[in-house]
Structure 1
Amino acid sequence: MVEDINADQIPEIVENNQVVFVDCHAVWCQPCRTLGPMLEEIHEKYNSKGLRVVKLDVDKNREFSTKNQITGVPSVLVYANGQRVVFDDGNGNKMDRLVGVMPMEVYDTIANELLGEAS
């Protein structure tokens, strides 16, 4: 089950898990409600392999949201081996988060690639 956390829990969670997806969401956000069950499925599928998914309410964790420039929800921050992951968007642009609801294959691919690298 995906756990709701506070920002101060992130460092310990990142340190103790190979791969972490932090779902930055808001209770009023309709796309967040769509993403929630998808990330629950990712958590169930990959948790035993070293991936953990957690949820962070941006309205309850404003300092974290400001510091990490979370300007759109849902935003998923990905950590692997204790470090924030930076992605190439395919057009040469670097991004350090997934904003919006992506196709399920995107989350599966990221999980597989990072867990493969982490093992």
Structure 2
Amino acid sequence: MVDEIMSDQLEKVVSDNKLVFVDCFATWCHPCKVLSPILEGLVEKYGDRGLKVVKIDVDNNREFSMKNRVSGVPSVFVFSEGRRVVFDDGSGKKMDRLVGVMPEEIYAELVESLLGGDA
């Protein structure tokens, strides 16, 4: 299950869970609606291994959006063991979020690499 939270709840969610995906979305955003079932599927598959997915509405959490420079939705932040994950995009560029809708395999590979082991 994917819960919608307010930004002031994020710290507790991150500290209480091994791996957290934070889906920054907007109700008017069509790609956000496409991403939702992908994230729901990840929770079904990996929830018992420590994955938690939460959603933050960027329009209802403007301070969070500005502080984290969320300029495109959907944007997914990833926290592992309480720390924000920074990725290498493959060309040496560092990024701290996944922007847009990626193929489900990308998210699954990320979960696998951070949780370790087989699905």
TM-score normalised by the chain length of structure 2: 0.97
- Structure 1: gaps spanning 5 or more residues: none
Which runs of structure 1 show a deviation greater than 3 angstroms over 4 or more consecutive aligned residues? Answer: none
Root mean square deviation of aligned Cα: 0.9
1:27 aligned partner: 27
**Cα deviation 1:45-74 (Å, max 9, x = unaligned):** 111000100011000000000000000000
**Identity, % of aligned pairs?**
59
The equivalent of 1:69 in structure 2 is 69
CA distance in 1, matches of 2:116, 2:61: 32
**Cα distance, 1:116 vs structure 2:** 1.4
One-letter amino acid of the structure 2 residue matched with residue 60 of structure 1 = N
List alignment gaps of at least 5 residues for structure 2.
none
Aligned length: 117
